[in-house]
Structure 1
Amino acid sequence: MSLRIAAVSASRIAKPHNPSSPLFSPPFNNPKFQLHRLPHANAFPPLPIRKPGSQCYIRAISDRAVESTISKKEEEGEQSPKDWKIKMLYDGDCPLCMREVNMLRERNTSYGTIKFVDIGSDDYSPDENQGLDYQTAMGRIHAILSDGTVVTDVEAFRRLYEQVGLGWVYAITKYEPIGKIADSVYSFWAKYRLQVTGRPPMEEILEARRKKGEVCKDSDACKM
């Protein structure tokens, strides 16, 4: 009996399976498992070719142009604020003086209380500045209050600094004898500042301005 059972089992194992049977068919023969074909490469539209840095360069130029225009407008606006309380007459050809002027100008962007006037400019007019001509204004620092009062020396600096929130810098000069000492030190600097900054004497500067004025009157060389 046991031999018969073993023979039947062996015959079943040896019997080949039907390859067409769905249980033993490979997945690629079954339509449910068919893979989707990838589209051809030409089916995709070509990507745009960008030149490296071209757009960035154009944008940089555009941004610089806008910034330049804005900076110029801001500078023109701060030179002549509508509600100025004090006018500073400064020597635009003095390199050391311009450091302080630029500092005050930067502070003034938040206050708008100082009007800056370059006495070396061709457009400078003594009539618009309490009759102070170029030579007088070059002798020492001058500032003009909105009511027409002219202040000089350390008091001018103190008034200017007060208008941009730095009054504490010169506050001590309100008291004597500190005020007189400060004025003496400044007067010494004002007397020799042309030599210290490597500029010609006042006589030569005035002569050069006189000749320039004559040339401008006889021709259009000084007109923009």
Structure 2
Amino acid sequence: MNDRHDDDTLTVWYDGGCPLCLREIALMRRWDRAKRIHFVDLTDPTQACPLDRQLLLDRFHARQGTVLYDGAAAFAAMWRVIPALRPLGELARLKPVLWVLEAGYRQFLRVRPILQRWLR
């Protein structure tokens, strides 16, 4: 599938081999009733990547139009296109809020391998 869409569509790259990621993406798919998010499984080698595949696997990324987001900013971009989560995504536009979310995301990345082992 082509990863080019109109500017309203958010492209999200995720690790299809990560049980945590699969659960979160499944939840986001259910909440994305308007189908405004295009999910790209990075474990599928036929999928195009805007950056190095390993970089995308190591850290969450999303793109809307020409803007590429990573980390907490990518999550906030995804939340903004889902009506129920939009207020949280808008709140994350505030630099202090995004800073706290990013700090939490970096801590999560440290324990992610342990959590993945528990869920396998």
TM range (shorter): 0.7 to 0.9
Query: Is the CA contact (8 Å cut-off) linking 1:142 and 1:151 kept in structure 2?
Result: yes
**Greater helix content:** 1
Which residue of structure 2 lines up, in the alignment, with residue 190 of structure 1?
A: 109
Secondary structure of the 1:174 match is coil
Q: Where do 1:26-175 residues align within 5 Å? A: 83=6, 85-108=9-32, 110-126=33-49, 130=50, 132-145=51-64, 147-165=65-83, 166-175=85-94
Q: How many angstroms apart in 1 are the aligned matches of 2:77 and 2:94?
A: 15
After superposition, the Cα gap between the structure-2 partners of 1:188 and 1:151, relative to the gap in structure 1 and judged at 3 Å, is same
Query: Is the CA contact (8 Å cut-off) linking 1:141 and 1:153 kept in structure 2?
Result: yes
TM-score, length of structure 1 as denominator length: 0.46
CA deviation after TM superposition for structure 1 residue 115, in Å: 0.5
Structure 2 residue runs without a partner (length 5+): none
% same residue: 23
Structure 1 residue runs without a partner (length 5+): 1-75, 200-224
Query: Is the CA contact (8 Å cut-off) linking 2:72 and 2:105 kept in structure 1?
Result: yes
Residue type of the partner of 2:88? Answer: V
Q: How many angstroms apart in 2 are the aligned matches of 1:176 and 1:143?
A: 18
Residue type of the partner of 1:178? Answer: V
Secondary structure of the 2:46 match is coil
Query: Is the CA contact (8 Å cut-off) linking 1:154 and 1:186 kept in structure 2?
Result: yes
TM-score, length of structure 2 as denominator length: 0.81
Q: How many angstroms apart in 1 are the aligned matches of 2:63 and 2:26?
A: 19
Structure with more relative contact order (C-alpha pairs < 8 Å, separation 6 or more): 2
Query: Is the CA contact (8 Å cut-off) linking 1:81 and 1:113 kept in structure 2?
Result: no
After the TM superposition, which parts of structure 1 deviate over 4 Å for at least 4 consecutive aligned residues? 80-84
- Give aligned pairs, total: 116
Which structure has the larger Rg over C-alpha atoms? Answer: 1
After superposition, the Cα gap between the structure-2 partners of 1:173 and 1:122, relative to the gap in structure 1 and judged at 3 Å, is same
Query: Is the CA contact (8 Å cut-off) linking 1:158 and 1:171 kept in structure 2?
Result: yes
Summarize deviations over 1:83-123 as a string: whole Å, max 9, x none: 56110001111111222111111122x21211010011132
CA deviation after TM superposition for structure 1 residue 81, in Å: 9.5
CA deviation after TM superposition for structure 1 residue 184, in Å: 0.8
Secondary structure of the 1:122 match is coil
